[in-house]
Chain A
Amino acid sequence: MRRQAEKKTPKEATPQEITPQETILVESEEAVFDLLESLLQEVDEKRSARVVTDVEPEAVQLETEIQVQPELRTEPQTDNVKIFEQLPLDMQERLVAQATAELKIKNSLPEWVEHTIPCLLVDVEGIELAIPLILLNGISAWDQETTPIPTQPDWHLGVIEYRRENVVIVDTARLIMPEKITQTADERRKNHASHFLRVGENLALSCNAIIETVSLKQDEVRWRITRKARPWAVGILIERLSVLLDAEELLKEINSK
């Protein structure tokens, strides 16, 4: 949202909307972002250029092309540096901290994150989860018989036939918050959830209710930058306080168990 405001041209903005002081700040912020992004890009380019040289001798031509690019950016980058250097020190520090934090978030986003993220909101034992639609292969009411498979973990509720394929139903609640589930797998199977969401090839996540679909913007989510613990929880929907669930990461966790 803030970035959109920055891009507003003078023709679009009325005098009441932007004061001269705000204009300076917006220009300064743009300068800092452009500067940091160009620096970051340069690092990436240098890194990729090094890899190309080491691994693929035939790509030397590509390396030469990349080296030309920084020269093309020299002029605006110098302007940005000048604008930035004219700012008071505390504002410089604040802008750098802000830009660094935003770059950290940007670099930590999963690959599937677009400008808008269509999600399905579901209820799992009282907790609202938002699952990106792009990661789902199907949504269905759970009204079929489930065949339990012996010697499976307690989150494995059994197998059902779905669209002529055998699909394993995963007890989502047991997987993501085992401490809250006191029933046995048999009890969970008998009083099973109402729906399942197919993810990956042959797995489906159980859920108690389908709430609605929403289209999220990136700034409507508080992103988790480091995800060592619970890598499937990529962020929190700020307004609804729902957990944004990366079904691919959950799938990885299931497959590693």
Chain B
Amino acid sequence: MTTEVDETVNNDPEIQLVTFRLKDETYGINVMQVQEVLRVAEIAPVPGAPHYVLGIINLRGNVVTVIDTRVRFGLPSAEIDDLSRIIVIESEAQVVGILVDSVAEVVDLNASEIDSAPNVGNEESSRYIQGVASRDSNLLIVVDLNKLLSDEEWAEMSMF
């Protein structure tokens, strides 16, 4: 009996997601990749940076590149307000910040609850959508941060 339960648990691991809002939707990213959440302070623009790079911040003596997540996701830009946050994440051996409209909560999900997203639109925009999960009659869009940028773009992140 115990073995059966263990097998079920192992086959359907529980994952924790930090959820955030962008426009009218809720997105989730793996909590293990989140280092911290910051209020938005001064973001210094960088000349010649790609359009989805908002600028750089000084995080306790380290320069961290901030990505405009709305722009990266193809959503219209929005003004930064009191709810806006920078989520500092680690992905592909790089530490970057992603600007989001607000941070919501940490949710627990079983892997089996994440359904693959219907693949519509071009591959470019949907490659970092890992899937969707139903939460309280709302859909949570699960983002694969490692695929948020291409290998070349990730490498570029440390060079601003």
Contacts and interface: CB of A to CB of B under 8 A. Distances in A.
Interface string B29-65: 0000000000000101111100100011110011100
A126 B43 CA distance: 12
The secondary structure that dominates the A interface is loop
Interface in A170-185: 176-177, 179-180
A135 to B, nearest CB: 17
Given A241-B56, A241-B58, A127 B63 contact: no
Contact of B63 (A126, A180, A222): A222
A242 B46 CA distance: 8
Indicate the member of B42, B47, B48, B56 with the most A CB atoms within 10 Å.
B47
Contacts of B56: 236, 241
Interface string A177-208: 10110000000000000000000000000000
A7 interface: no
Contacts of A230: 47-48
Contact of A238 (B51, B61, B159, B160): B61
A233 interface: yes
Contacts of B160: 236
A233 B47 contact: yes
A207 to B, nearest CB: 13
Interface residues of A, number: 22
Given A236-B56, A239-B58, A241-B63, A127 B48 contact: no
B159 A127 contact: no
Given A226-B159, A236-B160, A243 B46 contact: yes
A178 to B, nearest CB: 9
Interface in A221-235: 222, 224-227, 229-230, 233
A127 B61 contact: no
B57 to A, nearest CB: 7
A180 B49 CA distance: 11
5 contacts: A124-B47, A127-B45, A229-B159, A241-B56, A242-B44
B156 interface: yes
A126 B48 contact: no
Closest 6 CB pairs of A and B: A241-B44, A177-B47, A176-B47, A230-B48, A222-B63, A224-B159
B159 A126 contact: no
Contacts of A124: 47
B51 to A, nearest CB: 7
A243 B58 contact: no
Given A177-B47, A229-B159, A241-B44, 19 more contacts: A124-B47, A127-B45, A176-B48, A177-B48, A180-B47, A222-B63, A227-B159, A230-B47, A233-B47, A236-B46, A236-B56, A238-B58, A238-B61, A238-B62, A238-B63, A241-B42, A241-B55, A241-B58, A241-B63
